[in-house]
Amino acid sequence: MDEARFYEPLGGGRVRCNLCSHRCVIAEGKRGICGVRENRGGRLYTLVYGRAIAYHVDPIEKKPLFHFLPGTKSYSIATVGCNFRCLHCQNWEISQMPREGRGVSGIHLPPEEVVEQAQRHGCASISYTYTEPTIFAEYAVDCARLAGERGIKNVFVTNGYITEDALREVAPHLDAANIDLKGFTDEFYREVCGARLEPVLRSIRLYREMGVWVEVTTLIIPGHNDDEEQLRGIARFIRSVGREVPWHVTRFHPDYRLTEVPSTPLETLRRAMEIGREEGLLYVYMGNVPGEGEDTLCPGCGEVLIQRRGFEILKYRIREGRCPECGTEIHGVWEDPP
């Protein structure tokens, strides 16, 4: 175990964790909501530092990040645990492992080895993903610091529930983040995710203010967050953050505790894309539907600049961050192909 950062003693053996917006008050011998931060003797410990449950080389498009070094590989790692309890979690076997009473598992993978593996596989970035990187922030920051020294970028794929104080320490080591905006009502967040909406909105703005490239993903779940009012609310919020922030509207498939809900109809996804464009967003994408809604179009002339199918890039025409046809700036973090 390693002593955690981002906590304060409260007296009586209790501590308050200040890492995420739950701000759990944890009694002696107990753990926070995430299941991986434990109070022992009035000190808070992280049970997952250097203990990876998943590690894989992924295309950056899988995060999904479409405007951040497209076509590159990202070394992706996760520990067990999550500060949400999403009923539809596709990685629930590892994210909910402590909550489901199956302990804390993982192999020893220290930061130095993570960075060496990323270099060995020719990865342009390391992604902290699959579960919630906030709950293993100490581990992620130490990896990111070493990676940055070797010219490797760092990415959070996150639910956005980190506190401002913690993010101000984490963000200087990050280059990009894909943040889930799962719905647009507090009721949805409380019932489906076990959290609140406002902290997510606050952190999306803060990531942007701190210079991290941000893309937003909404998994559209029939009967839960697919009404026009929520979708338009999400689009308008993203527009208020920046019309250049890409929005990924993604198809839901039944999983975990929402197996009775059908997959998202294509018509719903197409309408969500329309709403995003109506609200002034420059880049709106469809997810989990290979072959539709995946291309990057120039917002100036409509030219197809990046053609995709699934995680594969079929055509790439951006040069020096601009459209070669009309010269319009295409927002993102780009590397021109050789």
Domains assigned to the chain? 2-46 (no CATH), 51-292 (3.20.20.70), 295-338 (no CATH)
CA dihedral 188, 189, 193, 199 (to 10 degrees): 170
What is the pLDDT averaged over residues 120-128?
98
What CA–CA distance (Å, rounded) separates 173 from 317? 29
Q: What SS3 state is found at 240?
A: helix
- pTM of the prediction? 0.97
Q: What is the pLDDT of residues 241-296, one digit of tens each?
A: 999 999 999 999 999 999 999 999 999 999 999 999 999 999 999 999 999 999 99
pLDDT for residue 337: 60
* 75-123 confidence digits (pLDDT tens): 999 999 999 999 999 999 999 999 888 889 999 999 999 999 999 999 9
Residue 59 CA to its chain's centroid (Å): 15
Torsion of CA 253, 134, 72, 221, to 10 degrees: 20
Q: Which of 19, 14, 18 is nearest to 30 (CA)?
A: 14
Phi (first) and psi of residue 316, to 5 degrees: -140, 115
237-246 pLDDT, tens per residue?
999 999 999 9
pLDDT exceeds cutoff 60 at 338: no
